[in-house]
Amino acid sequence: MFRITLPDGSVREVAPGTTPADIAAAIGPGLAKAAIAARVDGELRDVMRPFEGDAHLALVTAKDEADALELARHDYAHVLAEAVQNLFPGTQITFGPSTDDGFYYDFAPKDRPFTDEDLPAIEQAMREVIARNEPLVREVWQRDDLIALWKKQGETFKAEWAAELPEGEELTVYRAGTWLDMCRGPHLASTGKLDPQAFKLTRVSGAYWRGDQNNAMLSRIYGTGWLNKKQLDEHLHRLEEAAKRDHRKIGQEMDLFHLQSEAQGSVFWHPKGYIMWRQLEAYMRRKLDAAGYREVKTPQLMDVRQWEASGHWGKYRENMFAVPDEVPNADDNAPVLSGKADLMALKPMNCPAHILIFRQGIKSYRDLPIRMAEFGCCHRNEPHGALHGIMRVRQFTQDDAHIFCRADQVIEEVRMFCDLLDGIYKDLGFETYSIKLALRPDQRFGSDDMWDMAEQELRDAVRAAGRDTPEFGWEELPGEGAFYAPKLEFHLTDAIGRTWQCGTIQADTVLPDRLDASYVGADGERHRPVMLHRAILGTFERFLGILIEHHAGRFPLWLAPVQAVVATIVSDADDYAGDVAAKLAAAGLRVETDLRNEKINYKVREHSLAKVPNLLVVGKREAEEGTVALRQLGSERQQVLGLDEAIAMLKKGATPPDL
C-alpha cells in the first residue's frame, strides 16, 4: 500500500494503481468534479496518472489559476494541432508550448503555408475536438518504437527530435482518440475540460524549425486561451486598449520620435519627445542629488581586456559591439588576454567603469557608502527580431547607479533604495508594483556561502522596508538571478493591468573581487566592498515608452511636451493670443499658438487628438476683458478665467511633483 499525505496532514493508504482522481472522488463528488490536476511531491501531474509510491498530494482546481491556465493553454495547443491535421491531411506537427497569455504550434504544411484566412475554419475544428471530449491519455514509449512510429506516419520533424533524445530516457506520448503527440505533459483529463468559447486564434507567422534560419520554414499559429469566456473577453479588451495606447502610434501622432532602418534599434528623438526626456532626467537628477548620489560620466569605448576581466566578454560577447583599436596601448605592461589587445568594445553596461573610478585613490571604511550614479549611454547588439519600438533598442541610456558599501551597510542601503524607488514610482503615476527576489542561477560566479549571504541580505532589507508582504506581490524566483549576484526586481502595473519589470538592485561581491576594488578597513587591512547595482527606471527609452502607454499620451502636466496652446476664434484676437502666450512662457509654461484661419471646433478636435492638456481659446470678448476660455483635455466644458488666474492655476499643475 502507498501512503498519500494530504495538505491537512491526514494520510490515506491506497493500493498501487490509484490515481489522484480516485482520492478526489473518495473525498467527495464536488472535489472529484473540480479536480483538474494534482501536485505530487510538488510536481504538477495529470489527475489520472497513478501514484508510483508514497507521496504528498495537493489537488489542483480552477481556483489555482496559474496552474489551471498553464494546463488549459497546453491543452489548447494540442487541440490546435489535432484540428489542423484533421483539416489539412499531410501536415506535419513539430512543437506547441503554452505562452504567457495563450499558446502556439509550429506546423509543416503539405501544400502551402497557412494564412490568417485559415483561422476561422481551424477554430471551428478545434471546437469539434473539444466537443468530442476525448480523454488525454499518457503513454510511455520505448525510444526506438516511437521513432519508428513517427517515420511510419511521415512525421519527420518529430522523428528527428526523438532520435536526438538520450537513449534510455522515458519518452511520453499523449493520445486523444487516434491522434497522438510526443509531450512531457501534464494535461487535463480530456479535451472536454476546455471551454470552447474561451480561446481565439490570433495570427499566423513564419518560424524556422528549431529557430535556425538554415532549417525549414514552418507555419506558426498563435492563439490566446483562458479558463472561461469572461477571461477571454477581458483579455481581448486589454489587447484593444493596448493597441490604442501603442507607444509607436502615439509617438507618431504626438511627433515625439521616430525609428528608421538607417539606425536599427536606435531612436530619433524629436523636439517634443526630447522635452519629455529632459523633464524626466531633470526630475531623476534632483531625486538622486537629494539621496546622496554623486553623478559621473564614463567612456563608451573600453579595451576588451577590461570586459574579459569583468566576465562580461565571456557571458555577453554575442551582444557586444567590438571595434578595432588603431592606437597602440600606452601601457606596455598591460596583460594581453586571449590575443585581444587590438580590440575595443562599446559598453553594454556601466558597472566596470564605475569600479575604475572607485579605484582611483585610497578609500577608507569611513568613506563608505559611495553612491555613484550615471545616465550612461550603452549599446547591446540585440537581434533584429527582438527589437520593439523604443521598448527594446540597441542604443539606450540607463538611470544606472552603483553603491559601494561595507557588508554591514547593505541592508540599510537596500532599504533606503526601496523607499527612494517607491516615491519615484508614485510621483510618475504608478501606485502599484510588485517585488520579486531572483535567486542564484545554475551558471554563476562566487561561492555558495556568498550567494546564501547575498540572498538573505536582500530578504532582510525588503522586510526592513515593510514590503515582503502580499500587498507588494512578494515572490522568490529560483534560478533567475544574474551570473554574479541575486537581485530584487520591481514590476510596475500600468493603467490596463500589464506588468513591466523596471527597477532592480543586486548585491554583488564578485565584480569588486574580479576588478580588484578595495577599501582600508578599521583594522588597517584591505577589504572588498559590496557593490549594489541598481536602477529605478531601467532605461529612459523603455520607461518613456511605458509612460506613453500608461497615460495613453495624456501625461501629467509637468511632463507634457506642450502644456498649453492658445487658439484664436477670429484673427482680430491674434495680438492678444501672442500676449497670452508670452505671459504663459514667462511663467515657465511650454506654450504654442494656433492662429490658423480655421473654425474653433476644428482646432479643438485637432489639439485634443494631439493630447494637448490645456487649450486656451481667445476671441474678441476675451481680448477686451483680459480673459481666456480654458478647455482641459478630457473635459467637455470650458472655464472662463482671468488671465492671471489661469496662469497661476496652470503653473501650479505644471510644477514637478518633487518641487
β-strand pairing of 433-438 with 475-477: parallel
* Structural contact between residues 398 and 504, judged by C-beta atoms closer than 8 angstroms: no
β-strand pairing of 171-176 with 136-141: antiparallel
H or E element in which residue 390 lies: none
3 contacts: CB under 8 Å, gap ≥ 6: 11, 12, 13, 54
Burial (0-12, 13-18, 19+ Cβ within 10 Å), 242: middle
For the chain, the 3-state helix, strand and coil shares in percent, each to the nearest 5, are 40, 25, 35
* Structural contact between residues 345 and 322, judged by C-beta atoms closer than 8 angstroms: yes
* Structural contact between residues 172 and 139, judged by C-beta atoms closer than 8 angstroms: yes
The residues that are catalytic are 351, 380, 398, 400, 402, 487, 533
Closest CA to 59 of 135, 6, 8: 6
Closest CA to 401 of 381, 423, 417: 417
Helix (H, G, I), strand (E, B) or coil at 239: helix
β-strand pairing of 526-527 with 370-379: unpaired
Please say whether the dihedral angle defined by the alpha carbons of residues 213, 214, 219 and 225, taken in this order, is positive or negative. Answer: negative
Residue numbers belonging to the annotated binding site for Zn(2+): 351, 402, 533
Long-range contacts (CB closer than 8 Å, 24 or more residues apart) made by 147-153: 150/182
Residue numbers belonging to the annotated binding site: 351, 402, 533
